Amino acid sequence: MDVDLRTRVLPARRGRWMPAARWVPRIGGWSVAGLTALLCIFLFVLPVMVVALSSVAEHWSGTILPTGYSMRWFERLGSDDWDAVATSLEVGFSVALLGTALGLWIALSLEGRDRRGMGAVVDALAMMPNGLPSVVLGLAVLIAYHKKPLDISGSAAIVMLVQLALVLPFCYRCCASALRPELQILREAAASLGAPPARVLLRVVLPQMVPALRASVALGFALSLGELGATLTVYPPGFATVPIVVVGEVERGYYLPASALSLVLLAVSLLALCLIAARMPGRLSQSKS
Amino acid sequence: MKNTMSSLLAPKVSDRVLPQGGTHALNAGRRAKRRSALLANLNLAAIVVVLGPLIIYPLLRLICLSLSGTHGLSLQAYQTFFSNPETRGVIGTTLAILFASAGLASILGVLIAALLFFKPFPGVRLLTRFLELFVAFPSFLVAFTLIFLYGSQGSIGILLQRIFHLQQAPLNFLFGSGGVILAEVIFYTPFVVRPTLASFATLDMRLLEAARSLGAGLAMVAWRVVLPMAWPGIAAGTILCFLLTLNEFGILLVLGSAHLVTLPVAIYAAATVDLDLPTAAAGAVVMLLMSLTLYAMYRRVSRRGSRHGR
């Protein structure tokens, strides 16, 4: 009955035989979507896959795919390479933690202030490294701290300092975006029930911000691991990070060892992202809805 | 604004209503409020004290060094930087590379975002997550992988050679402006795709359907309905893309050749190869002005966009 009615009222449209005029655009739509997918994979996914593929290649030049696969480039990673990995990890973790702490502090202090006067100045300052060329910031830090009154150009501190400045805007924005109006209501409720500010912070605000803090640490870590321009400008001998070693090898033409080391870098960075931020997406989408 | 208004108004009203004891309590409350405001300002001052050595002090030292000559103020360093034969056309080169790659990346990014949003296919969510992760992918690594793909002995060149039965590998453009532009387009397109997708997501789809049902063609809907509404997000993404492309260094280090010198490369070379810090500082100050101008634009546009969105 129902079916009869529909076929009578809407002939051809819902029927099994669609006219060509409706088929053609649908095929067109599919092919457009397919082309988009191919283009995206070709442009964005392929480079990431190439790092993985080239690091296990026996030899890859003048052929479409590598000729032979082996782990020998990983086995040949020398003590210099592992030193660079250790330096990168050390710097990355300190920068991520310091950046998150500083970002959290700024975000909490600026929350609820209208963006004028002091608040605007602090906000602009904290976000400024986002717009600075990394080489320029590196050069500025090198000029400021390479001789007296304060000379830290011989230690890893100068690398951490410059990376901290570069990572800060991301951490700050991560924390600030977690301070939603709902959280303000919770804070006021806790305060009106007599909780002192420190307790409100520790028991109400921070637990609510855990996903954002984890995201901030993960982002800071990943950005620090991949930072090149500023680090290359300031790094003291003996404190080369992985990107510096990789670029050095690429410039000398050692492509396959370089890609083995970059794969180690990518794996560490991805592992950290997964470990730190594994539960972030679900929590974030929950809190948004 | 609203907060300060209410705190100003509330005591006045209650002054009249409450008896003597109430005003005492109110005065105490006002004092407490003033104290907390003072504390908040002190806190902000402390943040400035922490950010000082991190950002302000180095930049001030940079500017001072670039302006200091043998006898006080001078523009000697700027002259040296721009008269160096290797870096003479450096601003022209920088701008040419910038407009070619950031322009292409912006157009491609908006196009890809539109296709992903309006013609979704299975796996779009995965792809957008991947594009979000792309931000944490170092740019020099993208440039490096292109050597395997588009280098003179790279797979795509060899593939083309096999298909068209050529004598030689057809691709030989990577180390130079072509390769730099290609790498920058690949790396910075996702930076346009993400904000554009976000601003498409806030579109009111009913308006699009209304336009379609009133007979507007696809092009007209895109041009007259979607673009004006999504404009703030697209503008913010495009300016960000220009800013980041201007500041790019790693890609040029890997793929740039000796005659492709942009500002960051020239600054780096002056500082670490020539060991001439004042000259490098002069170039850095010029670069600083360019990027901070772009960054101020970005902040203005993105703030207007977020206010618009709400």
- Helices B227-247 and B277-309: crossing angle in degrees, nearest 10, is 160
Cut 0.80: pTM above it: yes
Tokens of A76: 């040949």
Print the SS3 string covering B188-255.
HHHHHHHHHHHHHHCCCHHHHHHHHHCCCCHHHHHHHHHHHHHHHHHHHHHHHHHHHHHHCCHHHHHH
Identify the pLDDT of residue A277: 64
Does residue A137 carry a pLDDT above 90? Answer: yes
Identify the pLDDT of residue B22: 56
Angle at A135 between CA A129 and CA A136, to 5 degrees: 65
How is chain B split into domains, by residue range?
2-67, 77-309
Does residue B103 carry a pLDDT above 90? Answer: yes
Identify the pLDDT of residue A207: 86
DSSP B21-78: HHHHHHHHHHHHHHHHHHHHHHHHHHHHHHHIIIIIHHHHHHHHHHHB-SSSB--HHH
Nearest to B144 among A132, A142, A258 (CB): A258
Q: How many CB pairs under 8 A join A and B?
A: 224
- Helices B227-247 and B177-201: crossing angle in degrees, nearest 10, is 140
Using one digit for the tens of pLDDT, what is the confidence trace for B50-66?
Answer: 888 889 999 999 998 88
Nearest to A122 among B48, B59, B133 (CB): B48
pLDDT band at A281 (very low <50, low <70, confident <90, very high): very low
A136 contacts B288 by C-beta, under 8 angstroms: yes
In CATH, the number for domain A79-288 is 1.10.3720.10
Interface membership of A276 toward B (CB under 8 Å): no
A168 contacts A122 by C-beta, under 8 angstroms: no
Where does residue B83 rank: exposed (0-12), middle (13-18), buried (19+ CB within 10 A)? exposed
Q: Which of residues 238-267 of B touch A (CB under 8 A)?
A: 243, 246-247, 249-250, 253-254, 263-264, 267
How is chain A split into domains, by residue range?
79-288
pLDDT band at B3 (very low <50, low <70, confident <90, very high): very low
Identify the pLDDT of residue B100: 94
CATH class of the domain defined by B77-309: mainly alpha
Q: Which of residues 194-213 of A touch B (CB under 8 A)?
A: none
Q: Which helix (H) or strand (E) holds B140?
A: helix B139-150
Cβ contact (<8 Å) for B294 and A233? no
| pLDDT, chain A, mean | 80
CA distances from B199 to A147, A173, B193, B194, B233 (A): 48, 19, 10, 9, 5
B270 contact partners, CB below 8 Å, separation of at least 6:
B81, B84, B87, B276, B279, B280, B283
